[in-house]
Amino acid sequence: MLRNVRRCRTTIFVGLIMKKRRPLYHIIAWFMIGAIEYTVYKKKDFATDTLFFVSRMVLFIALFYFDALILFRHLGQKKKRVAGVALLVLSAAVYGILFYLLFYNLYYPDYQAAINETTRKLGTNENPVRLAMRGMIGVLVIYYVLIFLGALFYWLQRSVRMANAEAARLESEKLLDEFEKIRLQNMFLRSQINPHFLHNTLNFLYAKSLPLSPELSEGILTLSNVMRYSLQQEEDAKGMVYLDKEIEHLENVIAIHQMRFSNNLNIDFSVDGDTSGVKLIPLVFITLVENGLKHGQLGDSDSPLKIRLAVEAERIIFQISNRKKTGPREISHGIGIENIRKRLEYVYKTDYTFEIRDGGEFYFVELRLPLIKN
């Protein structure tokens, strides 16, 4: 029974090492340990003086925190492990000496009769001092075995956490490199087109087309706005743009497609919520819309291309669904979708959801982004 109590006590000691230093938890734990051990000793009618018991507990508590300090500060560092082991051995020796002095010099003379009664109940004629010292050594052996096992478990957990942190860091660096590569590729593509030349040319064509066809001139002006935004978005320091600009860009792209097909495309585009001041990374929505325009069956009025944009209290929700084209389809390599995923992960980390359901006749996409306002 006493051995089980000691093991219970040392197990709780190990648990304390694994916890952060929370004084209230430590006080409660020590109170419970002392209450259990004192109750067991009293129940067995062993000689237990309250002052001696409290003194011994204080001595043991001091040993525990000293050893815990050594484990955290010395044994975790290769250069200090020898010194740490030496300090642990020294602490055990000091504890043994103090326990002997406490027991033999201060309490044994006054309670020799009670101690003799205890040894009689234990069924031994052994010297009570020697018996007490042997019990103390047994407790220390169990204590150090468990405390080292606890420390080993702590270091293993720490190693796993450090390995996971390093893996996350490497993954973050990988994403950063990929994002930088994409950014450089976009810059390279933009550099192939001289924006000023393009805008001037479109403005020239717009002016020349005005007397000929209002519809043609309107189409040229819309195309000019689309190209200007695609090549020269006004991004802030974090690479974000206003949602209102993105919506205007979507409307221009849809308008151009309607012009191409004489307004026969069935497209249902709606915006709900307050969009003023809302920001997000650019050209994500347009990639999804262009995918729907490219692969969707837009001639069926019963199954239009549905585009829903909603601004809620904490989220931007973008949904797009379309019936798939039948017959021959354009080849798609999924590069645009893959680039979207990389950009979202780089900017929003895990604070977004990007769901694609591609099955049967319909294609559905839902993107949820955190609401960021200027």
**Per residue in 225-258, pLDDT tens?**
888 888 777 788 888 999 999 999 999 999 999 9
Structure tokens that stand for 205 in this block: 């064509």
CATH class of 233-373: alpha beta
CA distances from 145 to 65, 132, 139, 140, 151 (A): 16, 20, 10, 8, 10
pLDDT of residue 58: 81
pLDDT of residue 1: 47
98 or 219: which carries more pLDDT confidence? Answer: 219
pLDDT band at 46 (very low <50, low <70, confident <90, very high): very low
Structure tokens that stand for 137 in this block: 């050594």
In the predicted model, is pLDDT for residue 18 greater than 60? Answer: no
Q: What is the pLDDT of residues 209-221, one digit of tens each?
A: 888 888 888 888 8
Helix (H, G, I), strand (E, B) or coil at 22: coil
pLDDT of residue 30: 76
In the predicted model, is pLDDT for residue 87 greater than 70? Answer: yes
pLDDT of residue 73: 64
CA distance 266 to 304: 5
pLDDT of residue 272: 96
Helix (H) or strand (E) holding 311: strand 305-311
pLDDT of residue 2: 45
Predicted structure pTM score: 0.51
Q: What are the residue boundaries of the structural domains of the chain, listed by start?
A: 2-171, 233-373
Nearest to 190 by CA among 235, 229, 237, 245: 229
Mean pLDDT computed over every residue of the chain: 76
pLDDT of residue 121: 57
170 or 11: which carries more pLDDT confidence? Answer: 170
Q: What is the pLDDT of residues 279-335, one digit of tens each?
A: 999 999 999 999 999 888 898 888 899 999 999 999 999 999 999 887 666 555 456
Q: Which long-range contacts (CB under 8 A, 24 or more apart) does 85-91 make?
A: 88/144, 91/63, 91/66, 91/67
| DSSP state at residue 326 | P
pLDDT band at 354 (very low <50, low <70, confident <90, very high): very high
